[in-house]
Structure 1
Amino acid sequence: MDPARWTPERLTARDVVAHHDVTLSFYCRGCHLTVEFNVWKVGARLAHTPLQELRFRCVRCGVYPETLEVGRRDSMSGVRLLTIPLKPRAWDDGHRADQEAALRRAREKWESPGHR
């Protein structure tokens, strides 16, 4: 599918892997970093599932992101193509508790005197 026709509701890993210059990333509220990830790992099992329905998690701190950024790398700079608000299909009270705990740990880490 042509990137100009991508929508948050329909974009899948299969659509993205066909374009070598397209990147997927999210901003982690826990680490305060933008994390780029490998769409091939997602596509290996969930190629046809819309990315919007998947639940992603930061491997550093455990925080679940709220949006996913789709961009195109153009030499050293990048162009943002699409922002996808994440609406995971599998989300329950256990995940809410995990999110609150991960954010609390991240906040404590950032507020600790030796962090900066």
Structure 2
Amino acid sequence: MDPARWTPERLTARDVVAHRDVALSFYCQGCRMTVEFDVWKVGARLADDPLQTLRFRCRRCGVYPSTLMVARRNGMSGVHLFEIPLKPRSWDESHEEKQAVAMRRAREQA
């Protein structure tokens, strides 16, 4: 699918993999860093699931991000395409507790 026709609700890992110049990242509130992730790892199992419905977690500190950024690499810089507000379909009861623990741990390490 053409990137001009992508929408936050319908974008899947399979759509992104076909475009080498597109990068997915999120801003981690715990590490205070922008973290780019490998869409191939997501696509290996969940290729056709909308990215908006998946639950992501920072590898460094364990914080769950709230938005996913989609950008096109343009040389050394990037062109921001759009953001996807994450609405995971599988939040469990302990999500808020895990988020609070991860944020507390990130603050202590800073």
Same fold (TM over 0.5): yes
Residue 44 of structure 2 is aligned to residue 57 of structure 1: no
Instruction: Detail structure 1 runs of 4+ shifted over 4 Å in the superposition.
Output: none
TM-score by length of 2: 0.97
Larger radius of gyration: 1
Percent of aligned pairs with the same amino acid:
74
Task: Show the counterpart of 1:85.
Answer: 85
Distance 2:54 2:75 in 1: 29
TM-score by length of 1: 0.92
- Supply the RMSD in Å over aligned alpha carbons: 0.7
Task: Show the counterpart of 2:46.
Answer: 46
Runs of at least 5 residues in structure 2 that lack an aligned partner in the other structure: none
Query: 1:1-50, CA deviations, whole angstroms, 9 ceiling, x for partnerless residues?
Result: 11111111000000000000000000000001000000000000000000
1:93 alignment partner, SS class: coil
- Give the aligned residue type for 1:58: C
1:16 alignment partner, SS class: helix
